[in-house]
Amino acid sequence: MTHNRSRILIVHDESTDVDEIRRFLEEDGGRFFVQIAGSFFASLDAIYNDPPDLLIVNQSLETDAWKDLCSMIKQDIVFGHLPILLILQPLEQDFELDWEKIPVDDYLREPLNPEEIRSRVLLALARADRNRDANPLTRLPGNHSIMKEIQKRIKGGSHFAIGYVDLDEFKSYNDKYGFVRGDEIIKMTARIVTNSVRKLALPDAFTGHIGGDDFVFIVPPDRLDSVSREIIKNFDLIVSSFYDEDDRIRGYIESTNRKGEKERFPIMSISIAAVTTEYRPIKHIGQISAIMAEVKKRVKSMKGSNYIRDLRGSKKRV
């Protein structure tokens, strides 16, 4: 079980040193769960599929691959908050490092000392906890980060679009199958939204997790339609596989409604309500919330997966 344990990913291509670091950490009262990746691509696969709480990267990894890995992670719209510790070579192998161009949070020096490893790992984790509000289930930025991101866009003055993503019939699924399987739906949705936004390869795109089954993404207005269609397509393609075979064949589940009565609920769908600054000025976050609430109410009233963007103020209407 990894519950309440900090997940550490060590990216290192020398097995002897890896085993030593792993032993140091795993002997520390069971507070760490350690995973190993032996290459650049193996580390990316591990990070994207099961995000850690902290990375330890060896400077000797595949020549300059360690630089590429650190830069890629820190520039990522989702994983940029992950703290990175860099393992430096012994002093006799030292060379000048430009720390302004190396996006890491701290370093360890070979030969490694158990107490130093423990102290620096704990310090990096504590610092990260103070500086982020990532959702514990999806590791996506939470409400504080979402608010700051929106406020930054408003002050910046450039046009942007916000998509609010919400699942339909999630409560009935959760009631029947339980919160563990419900959490898998949440994580699947997070991956779909994140990957759809990441495909844009835009440094200013953003994905956040409000909580529960609610997500947001921020993209340029001209990319809003394509991202929304991509999210809906992939969600509808995958979601039925999370149901038991009998329910999947029937196309519905039987669960209890809010009145305590038995009711049939269709297979989950996904709704996206969107607001853009293209057609009218947005001066504060409260204005966005008010418009979003209206659009969300409309899209949630429709059957199946749907996407609506607010077009008031434009020459075309939904």
DSSP code for 47? H
Higher pLDDT, 161 or 134: 161
CB within 8 Å of 305: residues ≥ 6 apart: 168, 232, 235, 236, 269, 270, 271
SS3 209: strand
Q: What is the pLDDT of residue 318?
A: 47
Instruction: Please write the tens of the pLDDT for every residue from 218-277.
Output: 999 999 999 999 999 999 999 999 999 999 999 999 987 778 888 999 999 999 999 999
Count CA atoms closer than 13 A to 149's CA, side-chain side: 25
Residue bearing tokens 């994580």 = 187
Full set of structural domains in the chain with CATH: 6-131 (3.40.50.2300), 143-309 (3.30.70.270)
SS3 275: strand
pTM: 0.68
Instruction: Please write the tens of the pLDDT for every residue from 201-218.
Output: 888 899 999 999 999 999
Q: Is the pLDDT of residue 297 over 60?
A: yes
User: What confidence tier does 46 reach under pLDDT thresholds 50, 70, 90?
Assistant: confident
